Amino acid sequence: MPNYTVFNQHTEGIYLIHDLSDAMRRLLATTLMLLMMTAALAGCAGSDVTQEDVDAAREEGRAAGIAEATPVSTLDTIIDRGSMKCGVKESQYGMGYLDAGTGVRSGLDISYCRAVAAALGLNPDTDVEYIPASGSDRFDKLASGTIDVLIRTTTWTTSRDADLNADFAGMNFFDGQGILVRSDAFPYGTGSADQLENAEICVGIGTTTEGNLQDWFSSRAISFTSVPVADAAEATAKFIDGSCDAFTGDMSAMVAKKWQLDNDGTVQDDQGNTVDIWIAQELMSKEPLGAATRDMDSDFKDVVAWVWYGMVTAEEMGVTAANAADMAASACAENTAGSATDPGMCRLLTSNLGLGTSDNPLADTWMQAVLGAAGNYGEAYDDAFCDGTYDGTSGSDAMTGCLISRAGTLNALVSEGGIQYAPPMR
């Protein structure tokens, strides 16, 4: 889940200040050189140097200084490298999960990584390097360039946006904090977390979960003991062996973890009897989870954000992985007035909409590539949380076999009462 430490904040701030300082030093050096050159030109007695020459030299130096101080877009770096480094989670089914037996990755975050790579013209099957990013090191890895983009159940918060070298893009899942409880420590009772007086609760180090947990319990004068863990694997182990009475994290993670533990029967008491586990009814926080890029990397950040918006828009329009090419042809076909039959859909599927850099603009068919790699939003959600049979157009109620249903939640399209909403693609 989302997180960072005070040390990380300061460290990442240093990265940013250092980068800016280097850029400013280069710009100042160029400017000083320009001033000296201008003075030399102006001072050449009897020379044929005109004021136009001086102005031209000044403008040339100014442009060179700006070019020297302008950082290279991550997008250009990725294209030159021929691959994209995506910081992900490996332990949360439905979001970012690595099957140790097969080596197959799955989840909504993984689909988002694939979609961004496809938009850039990369092969999503071979040109994405997935780099594990923990709750405590994810922002360090982003700031240092170890990863190009962070798509790892990361909560968008004020302090992260303002203080860290991170800029948030598309929000691919709207979550909240939940808590999973062993019934041999605390019976279900009313189903409320307010019954957990003096509970020992596993919580990830450096996550927003830590602060939310403290706020929720202290505001209700409920005593508890925080048991810090490095990751979900450690929390799960402690929850299974009884070192923790409860385990807290994103509700999506708690639902996935309950499903896993209920199926493998590993939560047992001292006599080897299976122990029931339950999820408290409260949502302790708002957790908008999304992708993050580095600050002042707007061209790449724009692509990451609009890839997600494009997936949402495609589902709204009924465009799927299977019909994208046919829909593009019919939408762009001219009507009797000489206009595209469906201008909005035609733009979505056959225009780069100004995305990319001057050296590497996106292909006009970038959105068709996205759909081929990950499907529209509904298809990606279905692959992550349901049985994979959704047709991509019939709405949340048509999804079946879902671990976490989208129907009636914030993650439904706005047309269904949710808040997944895309700005106009034009």
pLDDT tens over the chain, length 426 residues: 444 333 333 333 333 334 444 555 555 555 555 555 555 555 544 557 788 877 887 887 776 665 555 679 999 999 999 999 999 999 899 999 999 999 999 999 999 999 999 999 999 999 999 999 988 899 999 999 999 999 999 999 999 999 998 999 999 999 999 999 999 999 999 999 999 999 999 999 878 899 999 999 999 999 999 999 988 889 999 999 999 999 999 999 999 999 999 999 999 999 999 999 999 999 999 999 999 999 999 999 999 999 999 999 999 999 999 999 999 999 999 999 999 999 999 999 999 999 999 999 999 999 999 999 999 999 999 999 999 999 999 999 999 999 999 999 999 999 999 999 999 999
Segment holding 139, helix H or strand E = helix 138-144
How many Cβ atoms from other residues are within 10 Å of residue 89's Cβ?
A: 26
Contact at 8 Å (CB) between 340 and 348?
no
Contact at 8 Å (CB) between 153 and 291?
no
- CA–CA gap between residue 172 and residue 109 (Å, rounded): 8
Task: Say if residue 53 is exposed, middle or buried (CB neighbours under 10 Å; 0-12, 13-18, 19+).
Answer: middle
Domain-by-domain residue ranges, the chain?
6-70, 78-174+289-416, 177-285
- CA–CA gap between residue 377 and residue 311 (Å, rounded): 5
Q: Which token pair is 359?
A: 């050296």
- CA–CA gap between residue 13 and residue 7 (Å, rounded): 10
b/e sequence 345-374, b meaning 16+ C-beta within 10 Å: bbbbbbbbbebbbeebebbebbbbbbbbbb
Q: What's the one-letter identity of residue 361?
A: P
DSSP per-residue string spanning 30-89: HHHHHHHHHHHHHT-TT----HHHHHHHHHHHHHHHHHHHSPPPHHHHHHHHT-EEEEE-
Contact at 8 Å (CB) between 3 and 130?
no
pLDDT in the model for residue 49: 74
Closest CA to 257 of 386, 406, 97, 86: 97
Distance of CA 158 to the CA centre of its chain: 16
pLDDT in the model for residue 67: 52
Do 78-174+289-416 and 177-285 show the same overall fold?
yes
User: In whole angstroms, how far apart are CA 51 and each of 47, 55, 62, 391?
Assistant: 11, 6, 16, 69
User: In whole angstroms, how far apart are CA 353 and each of 47, 144, 154, 311, 377?
Assistant: 51, 30, 28, 15, 20
Contact at 8 Å (CB) between 232 and 204?
yes
- CA–CA gap between residue 114 and residue 93 (Å, rounded): 17
- Which CATH code for domain 177-285? 3.40.190.10
- CA–CA gap between residue 407 and residue 102 (Å, rounded): 31
Q: Which token pair is 353?
A: 């909409």
Count the residues in the chain.
426
Name, in order, each residue with C-beta under 8 angstroms of 110's C-beta and a sequence gap of 6 or more: 88, 96, 97, 130
CATH superfamily of 78-174+289-416: Periplasmic binding protein-like II (3.40.190.10)
pLDDT in the model for residue 32: 55
Contact at 8 Å (CB) between 300 and 170?
no
Q: What is the pTM of this model?
A: 0.81
Q: What is the end-to-end Cα distance of the chain in Å, rounded?
A: 34
Task: Say if residue 410 is exposed, middle or buried (CB neighbours under 10 Å; 0-12, 13-18, 19+).
Answer: middle
Closest CA to 367 of 418, 400, 332: 332
Name, in order, each residue with C-beta under 8 angstroms of 325's C-beta and a sequence gap of 6 or more: 368
User: In whole angstroms, how far apart are CA 222 and each of 105, 173, 215, 282, 287?
Assistant: 39, 30, 10, 15, 23
